[in-house]
Amino acid sequence: MKKYKLITIVLLLLCSCSSDLLEQTIYIPDPDDSNLPAYTELGYNSFGVKYERMYFTATSDIVPCKIVYQNGVMSFSLNGRIGAGYYSSYYGNEEMSLIFSFPTSQMNEYQDLIVLNNTTIDLTGASCEVKMIRNSQPEVLTVLSGNLTFKRAQLLSVDDKENRAILSGTFDLKFVRNNVPEVMSNGRFDLGITDLFNLPD
């Protein structure tokens, strides 16, 4: 635990010195499962979830999150790779995106994301959709149960200027894909958002 705190303090000091580091994915392993990132609320641009016997995680070569708002619906996209785990040779693993779409109030810029603070989305809701993209093939999932929780949404300032929104939270999902039930568990994310794509209606 002391080692974890020391790493966190060092990373915070580094981030305060260079905003370029805020764009990178910082991976701190979960003490209970090193193939998942620890849950943090510091904008480490990381996410991870256990997917059946594999893991879907953020990587250093793919932008981990993109957010699109259109017609009252926000699409929250997690982008990374699926494989045996973070410590495998994940650059050879398959790219994947998981996109959660749900209704929200008007979103014009990243500062508006703070309305998500302490919000849980029931992914079985009729107005929600979960889509998976693998091998460049999008597929809408039949969700059996699941929640997407934004535990904390906050604004980060660098040199006394607002720089980004940080979205931190958890998710889990049971769904049917290709007529086969599948499970995602212990999902968590900690993402720094500097841009929100507001598409015309």
* DSSP string of 48-96, one letter each residue: EEEETTEEEE--TTS--EEEEEETTEEEEEEEEEEES-TTS-GGGSEEE
Quote the tokens at residue 158: 């660098």
DSSP code of 115? Answer: G
197, with CB counted inside 10 A (0-12, 13-18, 19+), is exposed
Predicted pLDDT of residue 19? 57
* Residue 163 confidence (pLDDT): 85
**Span 49-90, pLDDT tens digits:** 999 999 999 999 999 999 999 999 999 999 999 986 655 554
Residue found under tokens 């915070």: 12
Query: Per-residue pLDDT tens for 3-45?
Result: 444 344 444 444 444 556 778 999 999 999 999 999 999 999 9
Given a contact cutoff of 8 angstroms between Cβ atoms, the answer to whether 155 and 162 are in contact is yes
Amino acid at 54: M
**β-strand partners of 69:** 74, 198
Q: Which residue has the tokens 């929640």?
A: 147
Domain boundaries along the sequence of the chain:
2-198
- For the record, the structure tokens of 89 come out as 């040779």
